[in-house]
């Protein structure tokens, strides 16, 4: 009887804690607290420095890369959807290519590029901008749990150059993980 009770307690603890083991840790805000991606950042220092703005609004995720005035900046990254996929997107003014066989398509000089994996779980991008901003938005499936943003400005991680949500919070670290359907 004791053995059966011990087995039952073990199984109950596993069932209770197992879901938590499958979920990625959401990135905290710099200085503590929770990142709130709701709404477009009000002041993201556009034109003053090379920055990213990331926000969620009306069911869409938005990513905007803004370069410095008169300077060319390169923004690269990979966005991964956990337990879901990208359903649709708007990629205004950007050249979109679908990955096939793990190879990226031919690239013209100084163009913006996006690569969406065949399973629609990963979006890679390379944006080159001179004194302007490039942006795209996308919708994730309802069953998606988190989104991981691996983003670089001119080849380097710079969390102080990433503005999240209306208040423009900075993530404590990169890569950045947020709830997929806030």
Query: Could you report the per-residue pLDDT of 56-99, keeping only the tens digit for each?
Result: 999 999 999 988 888 889 999 999 999 999 999 987 656 455 44
* Total domains, the chain: 1
| Structure tokens, 149 | 């943003």
Residue 14 in domain: no
1's CB contacts (< 8 A; 6+ apart) are none
Residue 49 in domain: yes
Residue 170 in domain: yes
The neighbour count for residue 22, using CB atoms within 10 Å, is 9
Residue 90 in domain: yes
Pairing state between β 122-130 and 133-140: unpaired
Domain hosting 133: range is 25-179
Residue 12 in domain: no
The neighbour count for residue 107, using CB atoms within 10 Å, is 12
Q: DSSP code of 144?
A: -
Pairing state between β 162-164 and 113-116: unpaired
Residue 157 in domain: yes
Per-residue confidence band for 105, with pLDDT thresholds at 50, 70 and 90: low
Residue 109 in domain: yes
**Full-prediction pTM beyond 0.85?**
no
Residue 99 in domain: yes
Query: Could you report the per-residue pLDDT of 10-50, keeping only the tens digit for each?
Result: 333 333 333 333 445 889 888 888 999 999 998 766 667 88
Task: Tell me the mean pLDDT in the region 127-142.
Answer: 91
């Amino acid at each position: 009887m004791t053995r059966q009770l011990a087995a039952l307690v073990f199984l109950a603890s596993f069932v209770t804690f197992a879901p938590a083991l499958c979920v990625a840790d959401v990135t905290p805000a710099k200085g503590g607290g929770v990142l709130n991606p709701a709404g477009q950042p009000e002041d993201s220092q556009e034109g003053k420095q090379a920055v990213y703005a990331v926000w969620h609004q009306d069911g869409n995720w938005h990513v905007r890369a803004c370069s410095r005035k008169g300077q060319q900046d390169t923004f690269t990254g990979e966005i991964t959807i956990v337990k879901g996929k990208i359903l649709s997107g708007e990629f205004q003014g950007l050249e979109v290519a679908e990955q096939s066989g793990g190879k990226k398509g031919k690239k013209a000089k100084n163009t913006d590029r996006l690569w969406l994996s065949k399973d629609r779980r990963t979006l890679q991008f390379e944006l080159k901008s001179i004194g302007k901003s490039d942006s795209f938005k996308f919708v994730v499936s309802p069953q998606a749990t988190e989104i991981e943003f691996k983003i670089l400005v001119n080849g380097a991680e710079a969390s102080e150059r990433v503005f999240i949500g209306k208040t423009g919070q900075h993530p404590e670290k990169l890569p950045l993980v947020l709830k997929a359907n806030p």
